[in-house]
């Protein structure tokens, strides 16, 4: 969330109040999730707004995300897609998806959104093997140790000029501290370095939320 990079509560509240035009279902999702354990897994409202604008700018119709949690990111993008748009959510938790569906239904977006429950690497491999129709935009926000694997598979499922967004790529600032050697920190640091050198894509790491890596497939 936005607090990860040291923004004060006053600034975070200001961002939520005037930095986004938050749909009532998104606001309810944000408030409800804030009361839950692991609430820090939810993206910040301004990040959802940025993702929605990016989806509109690239004319996205098909969007895939790895890691849905309670549905804020998927709903942010679903609301930005055209009426015939499609969202595919990959998650391992039936419980979280059940919560997400409440907000999707409240926003009348549930018909746009398909869920696939199970280990995402296996799901992505099946999608690649079945030659699923390519996506315009993707969001990766799941277990950090598999970030590189998700990235490689999503790149295969993305159209040229498509956009991948990777969450938590500043990881509370830990990636910049050589003394930080946790498995998650090392995985994110390695992916950032990999993308920086990857000539298949254009990239920029933005200070949105907890760091948002933006990757355009060439």
Report pLDDT for 4. Answer: 58
The pLDDT tens digits of the residues spanning 153-177 come to: 999 999 999 999 999 999 999 999 9
Give the start-to-end residue ranges of the domains of the chain: 2-217
Q: What is the full DSSP assignment across 26-74?
A: HHHHHHHHHTSTTGGGSPPHHHHHHHHHHHHHTT--EEEEE--TTSHHH
Report pLDDT for 8. Answer: 87
Give the domain 2-217 fold.
Answer: Rossmann fold (3.40.50)
Alpha-carbon span 30 to 20, nearest angstrom = 13
Report pLDDT for 3. Answer: 53
Report pLDDT for 1. Answer: 47
Q: Which of 135, 125, 199, 129 is nearest to 165 (CA)?
A: 135
17 or 90, greater pLDDT:
90
SS3 125: helix
Instruction: Give the mean pLDDT of 135-154.
Output: 98
Torsion of CA 129, 144, 114, 159, to 10 degrees: -50
What percent of the chain is predicted at pLDDT more than 90? 92
Distances (CA, A) of 20 to 57, 77, 134, 191, 202: 17, 14, 30, 29, 27
The pLDDT tens digits of the residues spanning 44-84 come to: 999 999 999 999 999 999 999 999 999 999 999 999 999 99
Alpha-carbon span 30 to 119, nearest angstrom = 25
What percent of the chain is predicted at pLDDT more than 70? 98
Report pLDDT for 53. Answer: 98
Alpha-carbon span 76 to 6, nearest angstrom = 24
The pLDDT tens digits of the residues spanning 170-211 come to: 999 999 999 999 999 999 999 999 999 999 999 999 999 999
Report pLDDT for 13. Answer: 86
The pLDDT tens digits of the residues spanning 24-49 come to: 999 999 999 999 999 999 999 999 99
């Amino acid at each position: 969330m936005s607090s990860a990079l040291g923004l004060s509560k006053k600034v975070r509240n200001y961002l939520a109040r005037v930095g986004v035009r938050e749909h009532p279902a998104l606001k309810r999702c944000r408030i409800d999730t804030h009361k839950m354990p692991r609430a820090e897994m939810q993206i910040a409202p301004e990040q959802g707004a940025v993702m929605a604008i990016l989806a509109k700018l690239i004319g996205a119709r098909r969007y895939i995300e790895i890691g849905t949690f309670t549905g804020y990111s998927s709903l942010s993008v679903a609301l930005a897609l055209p009426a015939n748009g499609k969202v595919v959510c990959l998650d391992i938790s039936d419980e979280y998806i059940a919560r997400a569906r409440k907000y999707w239904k409240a926003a009348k977006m549930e018909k746009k959104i398909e869920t696939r429950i199970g280990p995402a690497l296996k799901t992505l491999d099946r999608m690649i093997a079945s030659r699923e129709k390519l996506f315009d935009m993707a969001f990766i926000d799941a277990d950090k140790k598999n970030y590189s694997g998700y990235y490689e598979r999503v790149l295969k499922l993305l159209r040229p000029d498509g956009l991948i967004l990777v969450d938590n790529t500043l990881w509370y600032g830990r990636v910049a501290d050589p003394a930080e050697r946790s498995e998650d920190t090392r995985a994110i640091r390695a992916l950032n370095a990999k993308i920086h050198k990857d000539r298949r894509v254009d990239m920029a790491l933005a200070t949105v939320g907890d760091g948002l890596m933006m990757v355009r497939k060439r």
